Chains A and B, each alone.
Chain A
Amino acid sequence: MKTYLIIILTTFCSSMANASDASSAAATSAAVIGTAAAVGSVSYRNWLTFELKDWKDSATQTTSQLTRQCDMDTEVRLLGNARYNLLYVAIKNGTKLPYLVRPGRIRFVFSNGRERMPSFPFQNQSLELKPGITSGGTIPFPSKWEFENQDSVSAVIPLFSAEDKEFCTITVNASRPEGVPQQTSSFTEYTTLDYSFEFGTSLLRTGDPGSTLSAGKFTFGLSFYIYPWVNHGMNFGLGIENMGNQGDPILNSISGSYSSGSLNSFWGQFGYSHRRFLSRRTQLIYDIDLGGHNYRARVPESKLASDVSNSFLLFHKLSLDYMFGSFGYGVVIENAIGLSLYQGWITGGHIGTQSASGTFLGAAVRYKFGF
Chain B
Amino acid sequence: MNYSRFINVRFFLVPALFIITACSHGSVRSDYGLNHYDELIVSDSQSLLIQPKKLGNGSVEINHVSLIQNSPKGPPYDLQLDKAIFEAGGSVTRALCTTSLGQKSVITIEPDKKYRIDCSIQLNANDNNHLATRDQTGVLKIPYGKSGGVISFNYFLKIEDFE
Contact = CB atoms under 8 A, between A and B. Distances in A.
Interface string B118-145: 0000000000000000000000000000
B59 interface: no
Interface in B35-72: 35-36, 39, 41-43, 45-46, 48-49, 67, 69, 71
Interface stretch (B26-34, B77-85, B87-95): B26-34
Interface stretch (A60-68, A105-113, A249-257, A359-367): A60-68
A48 B46 CA distance: 8
B21 to A, nearest CB: 8
Contacts of A27: 23
Nearest to B117: A60
A90 B45 contact: yes
Between B18, B27, B39, B43, the greatest number of chain A beta carbons within 10 A of the residue's beta carbon is seen for: B43
Contacts of A26: 28, 48-49
Interface string A50-74: 0000000101111010111000011
Interface string A70-100: 0001110100000000000010101000000
By secondary structure, the B interface counts as mixed
B116 A39 contact: no
A64 B46 CA distance: 9
A2 B42 contact: no
B79 to A, nearest CB: 14
B114 interface: yes
Q: How large is the interface on A (under 10, 10 to 19, 20 to 34, 35 or more residues)?
A: 35 or more
Between B11, B12, B41, the greatest number of chain A beta carbons within 10 A of the residue's beta carbon is seen for: B12
A42 interface: yes
Interface string A30-56: 110011001101111100110000000
Contacts, number: 134
Nearest to A45: B26
B16 A66 contact: no
A327 B28 contact: no
Closest 6 CB pairs between A and B? A38-B15, A45-B26, A60-B116, A41-B18, A66-B41, A66-B69
Interface of A: 1-2, 5-6, 8-9, 12, 19, 21-23, 25-27, 30-31, 34-35, 38-39, 41-45, 48-49, 57, 59-62, 64, 66-68, 73-75, 77, 90, 92, 94, 134, 327-331, 333, 371
24 contacts: A2-B4, A19-B32, A22-B48, A25-B45, A31-B19, A38-B15, A38-B16, A38-B18, A41-B22, A43-B26, A44-B19, A45-B25, A45-B26, A59-B116, A66-B69, A66-B114, A67-B71, A73-B41, A90-B32, A94-B36, A331-B7, A333-B7, A333-B11, A371-B11
Interface of B: 3-5, 7-9, 11-16, 18-20, 22-23, 25-28, 30-32, 34-36, 39, 41-43, 45-46, 48-49, 67, 69, 71, 100, 114-116
